[in-house]
Chains A and B, each alone.
Chain A
Amino acid sequence: MTTINRQLVQHVAGLASLALSDEDLDFYEVKLSQIVEFVAEISQIPDNLGDDWRGDIQGSPTPERTDVVKSSLSPEDALASAPKVIGTAFQVPRIIE
């Protein structure tokens, strides 16, 4: 049984690009512990699929279409809802120190 502790919550939040306060860490430690305990039941399912079963190749084949070049969004449309724009680009904080 997996134990959800504060360090694990902090690690997962980092992977998910979330900044959590101390209060948030306490909250999610409790919440995620409850949910992980609940979903851990999944380990008990009788599984006769075989070792070579793979989820990524199941289901209907993906329909194919001809590879035809089509017009896409104009730069103006693509930038229309951006919080910050410079010319024809999205503006972000400096990424080179």
Chain B
Amino acid sequence: MNACEIASRIRNGECSMHEIAEIYLKRSQQLNTKLNALVYLDPEDIFNQVHTQQTRLNKGEFLPLAGVPIAVKDNICVKGTPTTCASKILQGFRPSYDASVIQRLRDAGAIIFAKANCDEFGMGSSNENSFFGPVRNPWDESRVPGGSSGGSAAAVAADLVPIALGSDTGGSVRQPASYCGVVGLKPTYGRVSRFGLVAYASSLDTIGPIARTAEDAALVMSVIEGYDSHDSTSTTTDESCVIENNLTGLRIGLPREWFSTGINPEVQKSLTAAIEVLKDSGLTVKEVSLPNIRFALPAYYLIATAEASSNLARYDGVRYGFRKDIPGASLKEMYKQTRSIGFSREVKQRIMLGTFALSSGYYDAYFARATRARAIISKDFDRVFDEVDFLLSPTAPTTAFKLGELNTDSVAMYLQDIFTIAINLAGIPGVSVPCGFDTKGLPIGMQIVGPKFSEGRLLGLARAYQQRTIWHERRP
């Protein structure tokens, strides 16, 4: 069942929240041992929530997500529940407050079901960089689920939960959604509050839903979006994420620079077929240009790591999480030992790259230039959205790769995000929708991108595509 159906059936009295929770709990306990998608699940807490929400429903409250179990990426704070960002350095941390998105989900009747595995602090494209160990792709357990929200995407794909929250800083919702054959939405920057999302790169981070269908993603968006005074970058807009039906005459752009990049032939073939489906639905398609898009990846890795080096400076063994005490050691030495042991190699690598980019003598050549590149790339998107309504691309250049396959080559791993990263730089929304399978039986995703606050249209297009195809109905 999808989330819309679960909530509707519960509201209509066709099933109880307790029955739904039991079904998903049993399935999660059976399958998670193999997948490692969920890192925290407390049956007692789940049934306490069920009791609270069922009582509200029985009193006649309208709950749009009545009894829908949702997995939450482990970098989003849930009050009293371990929140580690899959890092040793946050071992034992239990937030004293709910993230704003969690509060809104609770208000809407959802059950905060489990914490989902991820790459440490959202830094990775394969979910292999986790203190809890790698997540396995439900379609082929020898392969990665993508990252960094790999646990969230794998959990939805394997039906451990009907929906999940991920976070997307450079593609971390869309790329794992593509690898796992589910829908993943990266909203407009600021449309969903970041309050309670542990910061990686504050100017790029967004929280987004992962679901089986565009309708489910829209339902979650309608609950979690909106201004929040706790987040100074939260945007005020009167628009709400209502899925749009009328798509006639809309124009789709295919950036020639993206389609001349090394896309796997099977991915390319699926995209070509998907474009034909959209044409048959009454949309027009034309080639467009994003002339500076090749600079997006270097700009992203300089800006994201610079912000990470600042954001992660707070982990010093004093206020929360892991601490390495050495008798007689100074405060500074305690900081260094704690951070050196608490962070993984990948996180330390990104902290050092960011520190380098911000340091005296290198700032102008690296960080300052990256911020200018970001502005130039954003202007390219503004210009192209005068010509077309949406852009289309693969979500990732390949399907899911083998565990360990790209571990030793950082740049090759970073290239998995080549189509998603520029979207975060420009602060615009993008959605990944399943659009086929390769000959190995692995899912392929297409990315649809629109201008700021176009989520309703994006999801309308995604829904229209899903109504004409059956890719999202396949199960691992």
Contact status A32-B349, CB under 8 Å = yes
Min CB distance A53 to B, Å, is: 7
CB A54 to nearest CB in B, in angstroms, measures 9
Q: Flag whether B226 is at the interface (Cβ < 8 A).
A: no
Q: How far is the CB of A67 from chain B (nearest CB, A)?
A: 11
Which residues on the B side are within 8 Å of A41 (C-beta)? Answer: 294-295, 298
- Indicate if A16 sits at the interface (CB-CB under 8 A): yes
CB-CB nearest in chain A for B341: A19
CB closest residue in chain A, given B327: A93
CB-based contact A42/B302 at 8 Å? yes
With A and B bound together, what is the CA distance between A40 and B348 in angstroms? 20
User: Which residues from A are CB-within-8-Å of B355?
Assistant: 12, 15-16
Instruction: With A35-B301, A45-B369, A60-B235 as known contacts, state yes or no: A16 contacts B190, CB within 8 Å.
Output: no
**From A80, which residue of chain B is reached at the shortest CB distance?**
B96
Q: Is A95 an interface residue (CB 8 A)?
A: yes
Determine the distance from Cα of A75 to Cα of B8 in the docked complex, in whole angstroms. Answer: 43
- Contact call A32/B353, Cβ cutoff below 8 A: yes
Complex Cα–Cα for A82 and B95 (A): 11
Q: Is the CB of A82 within 8 A of B352?
A: no
Evaluate contact between A39 and B366: CB separation under 8 angstroms. Answer: yes
Say whether A53 contacts B322, CB under 8 Å. no
Given known pairs A45-B292, A73-B96, A80-B96, the reply for A28 and B373 (CB within 8 Å) is no
CB within 8 Å of B: which of A29-46? 31-32, 34-36, 38-46
| Cβ < 8 Å to B, chain A residues 14-31 | 15-20, 24, 27-28, 31
Are the C-beta atoms of A83 and B322 separated by less than 8 Å? Answer: yes
Residues of B within 8 A of A18 (CB): 336, 339-340, 343, 348, 351-352
Which residue in B92, B227, B297, B362 is a CB contact (below 8 Å) of A63? B227
Q: B330 within 8 Å of A by Cβ?
A: yes
Q: Tell me the bound Cα distance from A83 to B373 in angstroms.
A: 42
Instruction: Tell me whether A62 and B331 are in contact (CB under 8 A).
Output: no
Indicate whether A47 reaches chain B with its CB closer than 8 angstroms: yes
Quick one: which of B94, B235, B318 has the most chain A CB within 10 A? B318
Tell me how many residues of A have a C-beta within 8 Å of chain B. 53
A93 and B330: CB pair below 8 A?
Answer: yes
A47 lies within 8 A of B372 (CB): yes
Encode contact with A along B164-187: 1 for CB under 8 Å, 0 otherwise.
000000000000000000000000
Chain A residues within 8 Å of B227, by CB: 63
Tell yes or no: B356 within 8 A of A by CB.
Answer: yes
> Is the pair B340, A82 in contact by a Cβ cutoff of 8 Å?
no
Across the two chains, which residue of chain A brings its CB closest to B355? A16
Number of A-B contacts (CB under 8 A): 160
Closest to A20 in B: B340
- Assess the B331–A95 pair: CB atoms within 8 A: yes
- Enumerate chain B residues within 8 angstroms of A86, measured Cβ to Cβ: none
User: In whole angstroms, what is the CA distance A41 to B353 when docked?
Assistant: 15
Q: How far is the CA of A59 from the CA of B351 in the complex (A)?
A: 26
Query: Is A49 at the interface (CB under 8 A from chain B)?
Result: yes
Q: Decide: B94 and A80 in contact? CB cutoff 8 A.
A: yes
Complexed CA–CA distance, A43 and B362 (Å):
12
Contact A19 B369 (CB under 8 A): no
Q: Complex formed: what's the CA distance from A44 to B370 in Å?
A: 11
17 A-B interface contacts by CB (under 8 A)? A17-B336, A17-B339, A18-B343, A28-B348, A32-B353, A34-B410, A34-B411, A35-B353, A35-B410, A42-B299, A42-B302, A45-B292, A49-B375, A49-B376, A83-B92, A92-B318, A92-B334
- List chain B positions with a Cβ less than 8 A from chain A: 92-97, 190, 227, 229, 232-236, 292, 294-295, 297-299, 301-302, 309, 313, 316-323, 325, 329-337, 339-340, 343, 345, 348-349, 351-353, 355-356, 359, 362, 365-366, 368-376, 410-411, 414, 427
* New A-B contacts (17) at CB < 8 Å, excluding given A31-B410, A35-B411, A55-B372: A8-B356, A12-B352, A13-B352, A16-B339, A18-B340, A18-B348, A34-B411, A36-B356, A38-B414, A41-B294, A41-B295, A47-B369, A73-B97, A81-B92, A83-B320, A83-B322, A93-B329
* For the complex of A and B, 8 pairs with smallest distance between CB atoms: A55-B371, A83-B323, A77-B96, A39-B298, A81-B320, A19-B336, A16-B355, A42-B298
